[in-house]
C-alpha cells in the first residue's frame, strides 16, 4: 500500500510551486496528469517517470493514479492551481471510497495545496479579492445551469467579489454573457472587472476593464475573470477591493497622521 499525493502546482510558474509540492513530485515513482500540466512539470523534473493523459478523462486519470498507488510506493497526481479547488482531490477521495479494494489496502491520499488560480490572477491585477469573495465555475458539464444562475444571483445581490473559473471556451461563450447580464441587474456597468489568461505562464495576458466592456475582451478556457464588488476601485491601473465598508474613512484618518506623508484628498 502506497500513497497518492494529489499535488497542486500553482498557476504554472516554477517559482510558485511550493517546496512540499516539488518534493512530492521529485520523489514520486510516477507522475500522472493532464498532458499540459505534465509538460510543465517535465521541464522542471526531466528525469521523473510520467504518465500523461488527455483532457476530459479526469475520472480515468484519478482511478489510474489510485491503482498505481496501490501497487507502488508514491504516486503524484498533478493538478494546476490548488489540488482541491475544482481539482482532482475530491474525485480521488470519492473513488478511493467507491472502489472495492478486495484483499488490498486502499492507498493513502495526501492532498498538497497550491496557489489557486484566483489568487494568482488577483496578485497580478492588484488586490481585487481583498474582501469576501465567491468562486463560481461557469462550466455546466456537471452542474445544471439554473443552479449556476442561482449562485450568480446570490453573489451579485450580496455584494461578493466574484472569481469566475472556466468562464468560457472556444465553443462556450453564452454563459459569460448571461453571467454579465445577471451582475448588471445588481451592479453598475462601471464595476471593475479583471481578466487574466495564462497567469504566470508563457503568453500571460491581463486586462482591467468593467462590466460594460467585459465581452469585448478575449476570455478563454485558461482565463480567470474577477468581478469587483460595489467598493472595488481602479487605482493607478490596479483593481483594489477595500477590506470592508468603513476602511476608506479609517484610512484617510491614518494617512492624515502619517509621519512625513501629506494627506491627499480622496476622490
Neighbours of 52 (CB within 10 A): 17
What angle (nearest 5°) sits at the alpha carbon of residue 231, between those of residues 229 and 237?
90
Q: What is the CA radius of gyration of the chain?
A: 21
Q: Which is nearer to a second copy, 119 or 207 (CB)?
A: 119
Residues between 68 and 87 that touch a second copy (CB under 8 A): 82-87
Chain centroid offset of residue 242 CA: 21
Q: Least distance to a second copy from the beta carbon of 237, Å? A: 10
Q: Least distance to a second copy from the beta carbon of 236, Å? A: 6
Q: Least distance to a second copy from the beta carbon of 4, Å? A: 12
Q: Least distance to a second copy from the beta carbon of 180, Å? A: 18
Binding piece for a second copy, criterion CB under 8 A, among 45-53, 106-114, 189-197, 213-221: 106-114
Binding piece for a second copy, criterion CB under 8 A, among 30-38, 45-53, 180-188, 258-266: 258-266
Q: Least distance to a second copy from the beta carbon of 102, Å? A: 7
Cell 479609517 belongs to 250
Under rule CB under 8 A, residue 155 binds a second copy: yes
3-state secondary structure labels for all residues of 121-151 = HHHHHEECCCCCEEEEECCCCCCCHHHHHHH
Coil/strand/helix, residue 84: coil
Under rule CB under 8 A, residue 32 binds a second copy: no
Residues between 119 and 138 that touch a second copy (CB under 8 A): 119-120, 122-124, 126-137
Under rule CB under 8 A, residue 221 binds a second copy: no
| The only residue of 1, 35, 55, 154 in contact with a second copy, by rule CB under 8 A | 154
Buried b (16+ CB within 10 A) or exposed e, 117-134: bbbbbbbbbbbbbbbebb
Q: Is 177:219 a contact under the CB 8 Å cutoff?
A: no
Q: Which is nearer to a second copy, 40 or 92 (CB)?
A: 92
Amino acid at each position: 500500500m502506497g500513497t497518492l499525493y494529489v499535488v497542486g502546482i500553482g498557476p504554472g510558474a516554477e517559482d510558485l510551486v511550493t517546496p512540499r509540492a516539488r518534493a512530492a513530485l521529485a520523489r514520486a515513482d510516477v507522475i500522472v496528469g493532464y498532458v499540459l500540466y505534465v509538460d510543465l512539470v517535465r521541464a522542471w523534473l526531466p528525469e521523473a517517470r510520467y504518465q500523461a493523459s488527455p483532457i476530459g478523462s479526469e475520472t480515468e486519470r484519478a482511478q489510474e493514479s489510485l491503482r498505481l498507488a496501490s501497487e507502488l510506493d508514491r504516486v503524484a497526481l498533478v493538478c494546476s492551481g490548488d489540488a482541491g479547488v475544482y481539482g482532482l482531490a475530491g474525485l480521488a477521495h470519492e473513488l478511493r471510497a467507491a472502489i472495492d479494494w478486495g484483499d488490498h489496502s486502499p492507498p493513502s491520499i495526501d492532498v498538497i495545496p497550491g496557489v489557486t488560480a484566483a489568487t494568482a490572477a488577483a496578485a497580478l491585477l492588484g488586490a481585487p479579492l481583498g474582501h469576501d469573495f465567491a468562486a463560481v465555475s461557469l462550466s455546466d458539464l456537471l452542474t445544471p445551469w439554473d443552479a449556476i444562475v442561482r449562485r450568480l444571483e446570490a453573489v451579485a445581490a450580496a455584494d461578493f467579489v466574484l472569481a469566475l473559473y472556466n468562464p468560457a471556451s472556444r465553443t462556450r461563450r453564452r454563459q459569460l454573457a448571461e453571467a454579465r447580464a445577471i451582475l448588471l441587474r445588481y451592479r453598475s456597468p462601471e464595476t471593475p472587472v479583471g481578466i487574466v489568461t495564462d497567469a504566470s505562464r508563457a503568453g500571460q495576458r491581463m486586462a482591467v476593464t468593467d462590466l460594460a466592456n467585459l465581452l469585448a475582451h478575449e476570455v478563454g478556457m485558461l482565463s480567470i475573470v474577477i468581478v469587483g464588488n460595489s467598493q472595488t476601485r481602479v487605482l493607478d491601473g490596479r483593481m483594489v477591493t477595500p477590506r470592508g465598508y468603513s476602511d476608506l474613512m479609517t484610512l484617510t484618518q491614518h494617512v492624515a497622521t502619517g509621519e512625513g506623508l501629506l494627506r491627499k484628498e480622496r476622490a
